[in-house]
């Protein structure tokens, strides 16, 4: 059997490829899940983040996981369903709400060597918006996964989305993003990702969301 080729970046560079990106996941802690009041509920946010992690791991995308206030005793750890997907990942705990202002977090991002950053965080209006706009100012490209994040109100969430888009961030959804990262079914990445996509679509069907 002829070996399948790896997906190459698009000639125009407007869509993102799996070998160009890093995934940054910030503050997926139970306290934050409990206070999601925007349109995507906590259980779907959890599913979408787990799907994104599986996609990233399958094609070698670096994943950085961070929490806030755990060592200070203010918040609990990352939700167990999410850490189960990343058992070997060192979690970066911070005191600052803006992960971009935390030296170990920023150093971890720089160590990936990737300039295209995919963000997910709770809450949209704080721990997502702040590092996104700062990263953009520093010359990185930023994309956020709109159906894998949530805010403390509809208004807070919507205004934060507007703020990031106006700053130059790219909105996306988790299923669209996963297909964007490979785009051709006759690639090695497609072979790796197909069963994960089937799993995800099955989970949506179970929940009556498809």
- Cα distance between the two ends of the chain: 35
Instruction: Dump the DSSP string for 118-149.
Output: EEEEB-IIIIIHHHHHHHHHTT-EEEEEGGG-
Spatial distance between the Cα atoms of 63 and 199, rounded to a whole number of angstroms: 21
Instruction: Dump the DSSP string for 24-77.
Output: EEE--BHHHHHT--SSS-HHHHHHHHHHHHHHHHHTT--EEEEEESTTTTSS--
Task: Yes or no: say if 22 and 120 are a contact pair by the CB < 8 Å rule.
Answer: no
Question: What are the backbone dihedrals phi and psi of residue 206, each rounded to the nearest 5 degrees, phi first?
Answer: -60, -35
**Beta strand pairing call for 63-68 and 116-121:** unpaired
Question: Which residues are known catalytic residues?
Answer: 127
Rounded to whole angstroms, what are the CA distances from 98 to 70, 76, 135, 165, 168? Answer: 15, 18, 11, 18, 18
Coil, strand or helix at 85: coil
């Amino acid at each position: 059997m002829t070996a399948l080729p790896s997906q190459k970046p698009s000639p125009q560079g407007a869509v993102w490829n799996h070998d160009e990106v890093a995934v940054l996941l910030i503050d997926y802690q139970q306290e934050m899940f409990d206070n999601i009041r925007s349109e995507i509920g906590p259980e779907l946010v959890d599913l979408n983040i787990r799907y994104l992690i599986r996609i990233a791991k399958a094609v070698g995308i670096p994943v950085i996981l961070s929490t806030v206030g755990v060592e200070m005793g203010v918040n609990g750890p990352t939700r167990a369903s999410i850490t189960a997907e990343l058992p070997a990942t060192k979690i970066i705990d911070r005191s600052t709400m803006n992960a971009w202002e935390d030296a170990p977090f920023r150093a971890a991002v720089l160590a990936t060597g990737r300039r295209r950053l995919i963000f997910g965080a709770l809450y949209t209006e704080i721990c997502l918006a702040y590092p996104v706009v700062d990263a953009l100012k520093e010359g990185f490209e930023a994309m956020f996964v709109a159906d894998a994040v949530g805010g403390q109100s509809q208004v807070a969430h919507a205004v934060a989305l507007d703020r990031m888009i106006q700053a130059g961030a790219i909105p996306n959804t988790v299923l669209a993003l996963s297909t964007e990262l490979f785009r051709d079914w006759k690639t090695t990445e497609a072979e790796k990702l197909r069963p994960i996509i089937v799993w995800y679509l099955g989970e949506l069907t179970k929940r009556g969301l498809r």
